Chain A
Amino acid sequence: AQTVTQSQPEMSVQEAETVTLSCTYDTSENNYYLFWYKQPPSRQMILVIRQEAYKQQNATENRFSVNFQKAAKSFSLKISDSQLGDTAMYFCAFMKHVGGSEKLVFGKGTKLTVNP
């Protein structure tokens, strides 16, 4: 079974600085997808960024980028120029697509606080 591990329960960063959230996963699959979701205090889950495992190039979305190391099964999220609105829980998630199954497996989350 796939597992996703986020080793940092909580992190904090000063506004405008850069922070990196860690995520590792365990799978025997070769083709899969990885995601970072953000859950602010409103509890609405918001997709931040996604990465296809077959792509070597790291995904980037504005201030958000990932460092995808397939061999190491690592998928960290870097947030540049942190903003107060980035304060939220961040969940790393793994998905494989086999026979129509698209089950998302989430890590336990990292609570990020951006301080003014």
Chain B
Amino acid sequence: GAVVSQHPSRVICKSGTSVKIECRSLDFQATTMFWYRQFPKQSLMLMATSNEGSKATYEQGVEKDKFLINHASLTLSTLTVTSAHPEDSSFYICSARSGGEVFIQYFGAGTRLSVL
């Protein structure tokens, strides 16, 4: 299957700082990427849908000014957690849809964010 790379895998930051997470599709072009958040021992919750060249679509309850998403190319989407606070500590996972396999999302390995 298609490969999605997510970086970094782990980040620890101080409260009030901003953190950027990258999601790259390595062997395919992804016009659409998705960002999820997973709390411990819980399921994945979609935060936003990222479309190349346009603004991201955020799910209800997700602060777009807090979680900035940029999808500047067909292989890269970034999620920036601005002014991070301890409650933002979580596991963030991205996925990308391969144009050749409709409706299948391939996932990155996730980023564990710890805000001190």
Contact = CB atoms under 8 A, between A and B. Distances in A.
A43 B108 CA distance: 9
Given A91-B44, A104-B46, A107-B43, A47 B106 contact: yes
Interface string B41-69: 01111100100000000000000000000
A42 interface: yes
Contact of A44 (B32, B46, B110): B110
Contacts, number: 48
Contacts of A107: 43
Interface residues of B, number: 21
B contact face: mostly helix, strand, loop, or mixed: strand
B96 to A, nearest CB: 11
A45 interface: yes
A106 B93 CA distance: 14
Closest 5 CB pairs of A and B: A45-B107, A106-B43, A44-B109, A43-B110, A108-B43
Interface of B: 1, 32, 34, 42-46, 49, 91, 93, 95, 97, 103-110
